[in-house]
Structure 1
Amino acid sequence: MKQKQMTSKFFKEALFSDDDNVQFAQTDADAVETITETFNAVCPNTLKRIELPVRSKQCTHYSTCMDLVTYIQTVEESLKFRCYICGKQARFEDLVVDATGWHVMKNYQRSVVQIGKDGVIEIEKGGQEDEELSGWDM
Protein backbone atom coordinates (compact mmCIF):
# COMPACT_ATOMS: atom_id res chain seq x y z
CA MET A 1 0.00 0.00 0.00
CA LYS A 2 1.22 3.48 -0.88
CA GLN A 3 1.45 6.71 1.10
CA LYS A 4 -1.69 7.93 2.81
CA GLN A 5 -0.93 11.50 1.67
CA MET A 6 -2.08 10.54 -1.83
CA THR A 7 -5.68 10.13 -0.71
CA SER A 8 -5.57 13.25 1.43
CA LYS A 9 -4.46 15.23 -1.63
CA PHE A 10 -7.17 13.50 -3.70
CA PHE A 11 -9.87 14.51 -1.20
CA LYS A 12 -8.71 18.15 -1.12
CA GLU A 13 -8.61 18.34 -4.91
CA ALA A 14 -12.13 16.94 -5.09
CA LEU A 15 -13.41 19.57 -2.66
CA PHE A 16 -12.04 22.36 -4.86
CA SER A 17 -13.16 20.69 -8.09
CA ASP A 18 -15.68 22.21 -10.49
CA ASP A 19 -16.58 18.68 -11.63
CA ASP A 20 -20.34 18.17 -12.09
CA ASN A 21 -20.08 14.71 -10.50
CA VAL A 22 -19.11 16.20 -7.15
CA GLN A 23 -22.05 16.69 -4.81
CA PHE A 24 -21.73 19.16 -1.98
CA ALA A 25 -23.97 19.75 0.99
CA GLN A 26 -24.71 23.45 1.44
CA THR A 27 -25.97 25.47 4.41
CA ASP A 28 -28.45 28.39 4.47
CA ALA A 29 -28.62 30.33 1.22
CA ASP A 30 -28.58 33.63 3.16
CA ALA A 31 -25.44 32.74 5.11
CA VAL A 32 -21.93 32.86 3.77
CA GLU A 33 -21.67 29.90 1.45
CA THR A 34 -20.03 27.04 3.28
CA ILE A 35 -19.31 23.93 1.29
CA THR A 36 -18.77 20.66 3.09
CA GLU A 37 -18.52 17.03 2.14
CA THR A 38 -19.81 14.17 4.24
CA PHE A 39 -17.30 11.41 4.91
CA ASN A 40 -18.85 8.10 5.95
CA ALA A 41 -16.60 5.61 7.76
CA VAL A 42 -19.22 2.85 7.76
CA CYS A 43 -18.58 -0.05 5.40
CA PRO A 44 -21.49 -0.26 2.91
CA ASN A 45 -21.15 -4.07 2.80
CA THR A 46 -21.09 -4.88 6.51
CA LEU A 47 -22.65 -1.67 7.91
CA LYS A 48 -19.90 -1.69 10.56
CA ARG A 49 -17.30 0.96 11.21
CA ILE A 50 -14.30 0.53 8.90
CA GLU A 51 -11.16 -0.60 10.72
CA LEU A 52 -8.50 -0.21 8.02
CA PRO A 53 -9.69 2.22 5.33
CA VAL A 54 -8.36 1.58 1.83
CA ARG A 55 -9.18 2.50 -1.74
CA SER A 56 -7.82 1.63 -5.16
CA LYS A 57 -5.80 4.21 -7.07
CA GLN A 58 -8.52 3.91 -9.74
CA CYS A 59 -11.38 4.83 -7.35
CA THR A 60 -12.87 8.30 -7.74
CA HIS A 61 -15.22 8.25 -4.74
CA TYR A 62 -13.97 10.12 -1.71
CA SER A 63 -16.94 10.22 0.63
CA THR A 64 -16.33 6.65 1.78
CA CYS A 65 -13.74 3.90 1.39
CA MET A 66 -13.40 0.13 1.70
CA ASP A 67 -12.49 -1.85 4.78
CA LEU A 68 -9.41 -3.95 3.97
CA VAL A 69 -10.68 -7.12 5.70
CA THR A 70 -14.06 -6.86 3.96
CA TYR A 71 -12.32 -6.25 0.62
CA ILE A 72 -10.18 -9.39 1.06
CA GLN A 73 -13.27 -11.45 1.94
CA THR A 74 -15.09 -10.08 -1.12
CA VAL A 75 -12.16 -11.01 -3.39
CA GLU A 76 -12.02 -14.52 -1.89
CA GLU A 77 -15.75 -15.04 -2.51
CA SER A 78 -16.03 -13.47 -5.97
CA LEU A 79 -12.48 -13.96 -7.30
CA LYS A 80 -12.79 -10.42 -8.74
CA PHE A 81 -10.38 -7.64 -7.86
CA ARG A 82 -12.92 -4.81 -7.92
CA CYS A 83 -13.84 -2.04 -5.53
CA TYR A 84 -17.12 -3.05 -3.92
CA ILE A 85 -18.21 0.60 -3.84
CA CYS A 86 -17.61 1.77 -7.42
CA GLY A 87 -16.74 -1.45 -9.26
CA LYS A 88 -13.41 -0.18 -10.60
CA GLN A 89 -10.35 -2.41 -10.74
CA ALA A 90 -8.74 -2.80 -7.30
CA ARG A 91 -5.75 -5.13 -7.39
CA PHE A 92 -3.78 -5.48 -4.16
CA GLU A 93 -0.87 -3.48 -5.57
CA ASP A 94 -3.29 -0.62 -6.38
CA LEU A 95 -4.58 -0.27 -2.82
CA VAL A 96 -3.67 2.78 -0.75
CA VAL A 97 -4.54 3.67 2.82
CA ASP A 98 -7.27 6.32 2.75
CA ALA A 99 -5.81 9.24 4.74
CA THR A 100 -9.15 10.87 5.44
CA GLY A 101 -10.65 7.59 6.63
CA TRP A 102 -7.59 6.85 8.75
CA HIS A 103 -7.78 10.28 10.41
CA VAL A 104 -11.52 9.87 11.16
CA MET A 105 -10.98 6.34 12.57
CA LYS A 106 -8.18 7.41 14.88
CA ASN A 107 -9.49 10.77 16.07
CA TYR A 108 -13.30 10.66 16.15
CA GLN A 109 -15.83 8.32 17.68
CA ARG A 110 -18.28 9.37 14.99
CA SER A 111 -18.44 7.40 11.76
CA VAL A 112 -19.99 10.24 9.76
CA VAL A 113 -18.33 13.67 9.79
CA GLN A 114 -18.48 16.84 7.71
CA ILE A 115 -15.26 18.05 6.12
CA GLY A 116 -15.11 21.69 5.08
CA LYS A 117 -13.38 23.08 2.02
CA ASP A 118 -10.65 24.29 4.38
CA GLY A 119 -10.09 20.71 5.58
CA VAL A 120 -11.63 21.31 9.01
CA ILE A 121 -13.65 18.35 10.28
CA GLU A 122 -16.92 19.19 12.01
CA ILE A 123 -19.28 17.00 13.97
CA GLU A 124 -22.85 17.82 14.94
CA LYS A 125 -22.93 19.63 18.27
CA GLY A 126 -25.05 17.95 20.90
CA GLY A 127 -25.26 14.73 18.90
CA GLN A 128 -24.66 11.27 20.26
CA GLU A 129 -21.58 9.21 19.62
CA ASP A 130 -21.90 6.13 17.41
CA GLU A 131 -22.06 3.63 20.27
CA GLU A 132 -24.80 5.63 22.02
CA LEU A 133 -26.84 5.74 18.81
CA SER A 134 -26.45 2.01 18.21
CA GLY A 135 -27.54 0.99 21.68
CA TRP A 136 -24.49 -1.26 21.97
CA ASP A 137 -21.86 -0.94 24.66
CA MET A 138 -18.45 -1.07 23.06
Structure 2
Amino acid sequence: GINLSGGQKQRISIARAVYANADVYILDDPLSAVDAHVDHHIFKHALTTILADKTRILVTNGVNHLKEVDQIVVIKQGRITQDGAYDDLIRNVDGDLFRLIQESKLVASKEGAEGSGCEESSEADSSEDEDEAAVVAAISEKEAPSSSADRPTGP
Protein backbone atom coordinates (compact mmCIF):
# COMPACT_ATOMS: atom_id res chain seq x y z
CA GLY A 1 0.00 0.00 0.00
CA ILE A 2 0.95 3.56 -0.62
CA ASN A 3 1.02 6.03 2.25
CA LEU A 4 -0.41 9.38 1.21
CA SER A 5 -0.43 12.63 3.15
CA GLY A 6 -3.72 14.34 3.98
CA GLY A 7 -3.07 16.94 1.30
CA GLN A 8 -2.38 14.27 -1.32
CA LYS A 9 -5.60 12.45 -0.37
CA GLN A 10 -7.56 15.71 -0.72
CA ARG A 11 -6.06 16.44 -4.14
CA ILE A 12 -7.01 12.94 -5.32
CA SER A 13 -10.55 13.36 -3.95
CA ILE A 14 -10.96 16.70 -5.72
CA ALA A 15 -9.60 15.23 -8.97
CA ARG A 16 -12.06 12.33 -8.73
CA ALA A 17 -14.93 14.72 -8.08
CA VAL A 18 -13.99 16.89 -11.07
CA TYR A 19 -13.63 13.80 -13.27
CA ALA A 20 -17.15 12.67 -12.26
CA ASN A 21 -18.58 15.62 -14.23
CA ALA A 22 -21.58 16.18 -11.94
CA ASP A 23 -23.96 19.15 -12.03
CA VAL A 24 -23.64 19.85 -8.29
CA TYR A 25 -20.52 19.55 -6.12
CA ILE A 26 -20.72 19.63 -2.32
CA LEU A 27 -17.20 19.82 -0.91
CA ASP A 28 -16.54 19.54 2.82
CA ASP A 29 -13.45 21.61 3.65
CA PRO A 30 -11.64 20.50 0.47
CA LEU A 31 -8.60 22.73 0.99
CA SER A 32 -7.94 22.19 4.70
CA ALA A 33 -4.95 19.83 4.34
CA VAL A 34 -3.07 21.62 1.56
CA ASP A 35 -0.59 24.48 1.85
CA ALA A 36 -1.44 28.04 0.80
CA HIS A 37 0.11 27.74 -2.68
CA VAL A 38 -1.75 24.51 -3.50
CA ASP A 39 -4.94 25.95 -1.94
CA HIS A 40 -4.79 28.94 -4.31
CA HIS A 41 -4.00 26.74 -7.32
CA ILE A 42 -6.86 24.28 -6.66
CA PHE A 43 -9.36 27.05 -5.96
CA LYS A 44 -8.41 29.03 -9.06
CA HIS A 45 -7.95 26.21 -11.56
CA ALA A 46 -10.30 23.45 -10.39
CA LEU A 47 -13.08 25.05 -8.37
CA THR A 48 -13.53 28.30 -10.29
CA THR A 49 -12.27 27.44 -13.79
CA ILE A 50 -12.89 23.77 -14.60
CA LEU A 51 -16.14 23.73 -12.60
CA ALA A 52 -17.22 27.23 -13.65
CA ASP A 53 -20.54 26.09 -15.12
CA LYS A 54 -21.38 23.81 -12.18
CA THR A 55 -23.07 24.47 -8.85
CA ARG A 56 -20.36 24.32 -6.18
CA ILE A 57 -21.02 24.36 -2.45
CA LEU A 58 -18.04 24.57 -0.12
CA VAL A 59 -18.41 23.87 3.58
CA THR A 60 -15.44 25.38 5.38
CA ASN A 61 -14.11 27.15 8.42
CA GLY A 62 -11.57 28.92 6.21
CA VAL A 63 -12.09 32.48 5.06
CA ASN A 64 -9.43 32.75 2.34
CA HIS A 65 -11.68 32.70 -0.71
CA LEU A 66 -14.91 34.20 0.60
CA LYS A 67 -14.52 37.42 -1.42
CA GLU A 68 -14.59 35.29 -4.56
CA VAL A 69 -17.85 33.41 -3.94
CA ASP A 70 -21.37 34.39 -4.98
CA GLN A 71 -23.24 33.52 -1.80
CA ILE A 72 -22.16 32.96 1.82
CA VAL A 73 -24.21 31.23 4.48
CA VAL A 74 -22.84 31.34 8.04
CA ILE A 75 -24.08 28.57 10.32
CA LYS A 76 -23.57 28.66 14.08
CA GLN A 77 -24.87 25.97 16.41
CA GLY A 78 -26.97 24.47 13.60
CA ARG A 79 -28.70 27.74 12.69
CA ILE A 80 -28.15 30.17 9.84
CA THR A 81 -26.92 33.42 11.39
CA GLN A 82 -26.00 35.27 8.20
CA ASP A 83 -26.73 34.86 4.51
CA GLY A 84 -25.71 36.99 1.55
CA ALA A 85 -22.85 38.40 -0.49
CA TYR A 86 -19.45 39.01 1.12
CA ASP A 87 -19.58 42.80 0.80
CA ASP A 88 -22.99 42.93 2.48
CA LEU A 89 -22.14 40.54 5.32
CA ILE A 90 -18.76 42.03 6.19
CA ARG A 91 -20.34 45.42 6.90
CA ASN A 92 -22.02 43.95 10.00
CA VAL A 93 -19.25 44.26 12.60
CA ASP A 94 -21.40 42.34 15.08
CA GLY A 95 -21.91 39.43 12.66
CA ASP A 96 -20.31 36.01 12.82
CA LEU A 97 -18.55 36.42 9.45
CA PHE A 98 -16.80 39.60 10.59
CA ARG A 99 -15.78 37.83 13.82
CA LEU A 100 -14.45 34.77 11.93
CA ILE A 101 -12.36 36.96 9.64
CA GLN A 102 -10.94 38.92 12.57
CA GLU A 103 -10.08 35.68 14.39
CA SER A 104 -8.45 34.33 11.24
CA LYS A 105 -6.30 37.46 10.94
CA LEU A 106 -5.33 37.18 14.62
CA VAL A 107 -4.32 33.54 14.23
CA ALA A 108 -2.34 34.31 11.06
CA SER A 109 -0.47 37.16 12.73
CA LYS A 110 0.18 35.00 15.79
CA GLU A 111 1.54 32.17 13.64
CA GLY A 112 3.79 34.67 11.90
CA ALA A 113 5.04 35.95 15.26
CA GLU A 114 5.70 32.42 16.52
CA GLY A 115 7.63 31.68 13.35
CA SER A 116 9.85 34.69 14.02
CA GLY A 117 10.59 33.63 17.60
CA CYS A 118 8.21 36.08 19.29
CA GLU A 119 5.84 34.86 22.00
CA GLU A 120 2.31 36.17 22.49
CA SER A 121 -0.50 35.40 24.90
CA SER A 122 -2.56 32.31 24.09
CA GLU A 123 -5.91 33.90 24.99
CA ALA A 124 -6.88 34.07 21.30
CA ASP A 125 -6.60 30.28 21.09
CA SER A 126 -9.23 29.66 23.74
CA SER A 127 -12.35 29.34 21.59
CA GLU A 128 -15.08 26.90 22.54
CA ASP A 129 -16.40 24.43 19.95
CA GLU A 130 -20.06 25.28 20.57
CA ASP A 131 -19.36 28.94 19.84
CA GLU A 132 -17.60 28.40 16.52
CA ALA A 133 -19.42 29.22 13.31
CA ALA A 134 -19.01 27.36 10.05
CA VAL A 135 -19.12 29.07 6.71
CA VAL A 136 -21.00 27.49 3.84
CA ALA A 137 -19.91 29.28 0.71
CA ALA A 138 -21.82 28.62 -2.47
CA ILE A 139 -19.72 29.60 -5.46
CA SER A 140 -22.22 28.87 -8.15
CA GLU A 141 -22.87 30.96 -11.22
CA LYS A 142 -26.46 29.78 -10.97
CA GLU A 143 -28.98 31.95 -9.16
CA ALA A 144 -29.06 31.37 -5.39
CA PRO A 145 -32.22 31.64 -3.27
CA SER A 146 -32.79 35.20 -2.13
CA SER A 147 -33.90 34.49 1.42
CA SER A 148 -32.67 32.24 4.20
CA ALA A 149 -36.32 31.76 5.19
CA ASP A 150 -36.69 29.43 2.18
CA ARG A 151 -34.04 27.02 3.50
CA PRO A 152 -34.14 24.65 6.46
CA THR A 153 -31.84 25.59 9.32
CA GLY A 154 -31.32 22.17 10.87
CA PRO A 155 -32.30 20.81 14.26
TM-score for the superposition, normalised by structure 1:
0.28
Whichever structure has more helix as a proportion of its residues is: 2
Larger Rg: 2
TM-score for the superposition, normalised by structure 2:
0.26
